[in-house]
Amino acid sequence: MNPENFDNPIVYPVKSRNITKLASAALMTATYPDLYTVCKILKADISKKKNFDISGIHIGTEEFKNISVTGPFVGAPYAVMLLEQLILYGVKQIIFIGWCGSISENIKIGDIILPKSAFIDEGISKDYGAKQISFPDTSLLQSLEKLLIKNGKKYHKTDIWTADAIYRETITKVKNYQKKGAAAVEMETSALFSTGKFKNIKVCSLLTVSDELYTFKWKPGFTDNNFISARKTACEFACELASNLVSIK
């Protein structure tokens, strides 16, 4: 065995016979509600999902240029597994739609966050060459921001914190990441950013605030009307950006 190949992966993603080449831009949704919303926008039949690991992949109509959406999933390891699979099918631009908890008193339930960086507190990024912080693709970030501005949508462009253990988001950790400048916490973004850079794939993230932690007492807002409305808006913007991306020759 050639010693120069020792760092090459032994396990690799394998294509399914049920899926052919996908459009160059794709959406990843962490939650069922956002998956259903995106499928409705793309006119993808939710009942006709194709198996994609233990999640599903749905493909929009020709009207929406066959843009695909995959989900749901929780956490960095599985998110990256799905991203690796999408790359295998020719996807080059990823828009991740997720939910997050605010750790800033200036950010409330129902606000939209556009992450400009993610502090790494998960175990995947190091395997993709990142150590403490990871970043979205600049061009995708700018394109998404332009859409938000064009439509007069308020948002927070800020740093976030990506964690592995949702039930270990302690006061000590929250204070630490507040000092670093993070405004929210979630479980996938930093790993997706790191993988995107490593694989030379463009990745950006759009998050909706579903709960608050900044007072060091958990305030869930999953049934709050502001949150429900905002997450639907985030899905609409993500779909519009994906449509714009696959229209570019």
For 73-108, what is the HEC assignment? Answer: CCCHHHHHHHHHHHHHCCCCEEEEEEEEEECCCCCC
Q: Where are the domains of the chain?
A: 19-247
Q: Which residues are catalytic?
A: 211
pLDDT given for residue 45 in this prediction: 87
State the pLDDT confidence band at 238, using cuts at 50, 70 and 90.
very high
Share of the chain above pLDDT 70, in %: 97
Place of tokens 């749901």: 72
Mean pLDDT (whole number) for 85-104 = 96
pLDDT given for residue 93 in this prediction: 97
pLDDT given for residue 4 in this prediction: 64
State the pLDDT confidence band at 248, using cuts at 50, 70 and 90.
low
pLDDT given for residue 1 in this prediction: 46
* Residue 182: both structure tokens together: 């993070």
- Does residue 3 carry a pLDDT above 70? no
Q: CA–CA separation, 142 vs 149, rounded Å? A: 10
More confident residue, 47 or 162: 162
- Does residue 158 carry a pLDDT above 70? yes
Q: How far is CA 141 from CA 25, 102, 132, 152, in A?
A: 14, 20, 20, 17
pLDDT given for residue 2 in this prediction: 55
pLDDT given for residue 53 in this prediction: 85
Distance of alpha carbon 173 from the chain centroid: 22
Mean pLDDT (whole number) for 34-60 = 90
Residue 92's nearest CA partner among 117, 61, 68 is 68
Determine if the pTM surpasses 0.75: yes
Class of domain 19-247: alpha beta
Name the β-bridge partners of 55: 52
237 close to 147: Cβ distance less than 8 angstroms: yes
